[in-house]
Structure 1
Amino acid sequence: MVRSINDTLRRIPIWAVWLAGAIPFAVLLWEIATGGLGVDPVQEVEHRLGQTALYFLIGGLAVTPFLRLTGVSLMRFRRAIGVICFCYVLPHVLAWVVLDMGLLWGQMAGDIVKRPYLLFGMLSFVILIALAVTSNNLSLRRMGGQAWRRLHKLVYAAAILAAMHWLWAIKVNEVAPIFWAAVIGVLLASRVVIRRPMAWTRPKRA
């Protein structure tokens, strides 16, 4: 059963992942065009982009634990998922810089220093820039496998910082950021607890 699923997954082209990843952005553009974003559209755009980025970040983190638990491999899609995450993070930050803050650089710098959730968000953004820029085979060859993997382990820090960014930003008791922060915690813990594929997911020797 697992082998059949993996064979099917290997036939899915990477561009299909990109196409699926573009759906939330297309929906957002439609709602912008039709005026469906409520009384504060700028804030809604920021929040939707940021939340979608976090969902894809979590999706990338889930690939390895999912493989270890089920034997189903989504590894060939993980790089695309990570870059799609960045494709939502970048406009999320740009929406804040341009639409919310109006390119007032001094005020932005002051806010980042004074408000911890902005600092957490920016630190996560800087990490994700480094990961997105090096998410290609050329960078892998130039850096070497060990250094490349060491750099990309920073995704764990980016995920924690992103979760703290959302948690610290909320002003009321919202369930969603608490839930997704817990999901991130479980995924990171699972990488320590489940170091190898479960015995029943490994192919039996003849």
Structure 2
Amino acid sequence: MEPGEGTSHRRAAAAQDAHVQRLLGSGLTLRRARFEEVLLKKALVPAAFAACCVPLLWFAVQAATSGLGANPVEELLNDLGYTAFVLLALTLACTPLQTVAGWNWPIRIRKLLGDFCFFYACLHMLTYVVIDQGLDFKAVATDVLKHKFIFLGMATWLLLLPLAVTSTRGWQRRLGFRRWKRLHRLVYLVGGLASFHFLLRFKTPRVETIAWMGVICVLLLVRAVAAVRRRAGMVQSP
């Protein structure tokens, strides 16, 4: 056998081995993707849904057993608003987790978290308007104009409303992806307004509120940096 012929055989064998490894790797990747898909549908989404329902059940138990303290309406208002605030932070965390860590599973529950955020925000609003103010809209308007934190809270809810209504794929098709995405960038403003709403709500800011405000600020910064990098890449590309 010629020396060159032996080298050719070795190269051919190496190429064949590499091809087999690629096929095996693609098969493993496909099986892994299918496993992750089943896991997401069967476990993650139901678990996230159940976790989002836990605060509601807890508030119901507390209300039924007089566990909301001396001022139950105020305590319920605070708890519902805080739950919506935390869910907003978790919703904002989904895209940065995908961008920074490369995880896809947070995107699968992002809409669920956003929907529950709006749900608890609506309960927060209804508790204030119906139970606390007794549907006295004049008193509500006076509070909105008099207290900055109530004004910020009302503005936050009003901005959340179109985001919740247009969160479906049907609305995405109606608006077109670009306009839909531009509209949903309002979530950044929502995060800022919600943070200041809670900061001004208490004379002495709570530690957990400050902590979640910090989380939201970091998340907004990460998303802003990612957006700037994308624009810079588009400008530099020929």
> How high is the TM-score relative to the length of structure 1?
0.87
> Which amino acid is 1:22 matched to?
C
Q: CA RMSD, aligned part only?
A: 1.9
Contact 1:112-1:118 within 8 A present in 2 as well: yes
Shift of 1:85: 0.4
Q: Deviations over 1:91-127 (max 9, x none)?
A: 1000000111111111110110111111111111001
Matched, 1:114 2:120: no
> Which amino acid is 1:57 matched to?
L
Matched, 1:94 2:126: yes
Shift of 1:176: 2.0
What is the match of residue 69 of structure 1? 100
Secondary structure at the aligned position of 2:68 is classed as coil
Secondary structure at the aligned position of 1:72 is classed as coil
Contact 1:167-1:177 within 8 A present in 2 as well: yes
**Which residue of 173, 186, 191 corresponds with 1:141?**
173
1:187-202 to 2 correspondence within 5 Å? 187-194=219-226
Counting helix residues as a fraction of each chain, which structure ranks higher? 2
Contact 2:199-2:205 within 8 A present in 1 as well: no
Q: 1:68 to 1:142 in 2, by over 3 A?
A: same
Q: Which runs of 4+ in 1 moved over 4 A?
A: 3-7
Matched, 1:81 2:113: yes
Aligned residues: 194
Percent identity between the two aligned chains:
37
> Which amino acid is 1:19 matched to?
A
CA distance in 1, matches of 2:75, 2:34: 38
CA distance in 2, matches of 1:22, 1:184: 22
Q: Which has the higher contact order (CA 8 A, sep 6+)?
A: 1
Matched, 1:11 2:39: yes
Contact 1:5-1:72 within 8 A present in 2 as well: no
List alignment gaps of at least 5 residues for structure 1.
Answer: 197-206
Q: Deviations over 1:18-51 (max 9, x none)?
A: 2221111111111111111111111111111100
> Which amino acid is 1:86 matched to?
F
List alignment gaps of at least 5 residues for structure 2.
Answer: 1-28, 230-238
> Which amino acid is 2:70 matched to?
V
Larger Rg computed on CA atoms: 2
Secondary structure at the aligned position of 1:12 is classed as helix
Shift of 1:8: 3.2
Shift of 1:71: 1.2
Shift of 1:10: 5.7
Contact 2:68-2:75 within 8 A present in 1 as well: yes
CA distance in 2, matches of 1:143, 1:23: 34
Secondary structure at the aligned position of 1:45 is classed as helix
1:40-51 to 2 correspondence within 5 Å? 40-51=71-82
CA distance in 1, matches of 2:226, 2:33: 22
CA distance in 2, matches of 1:115, 1:148: 33
What is the match of residue 204 of structure 1? none
Matched, 1:126 2:158: yes
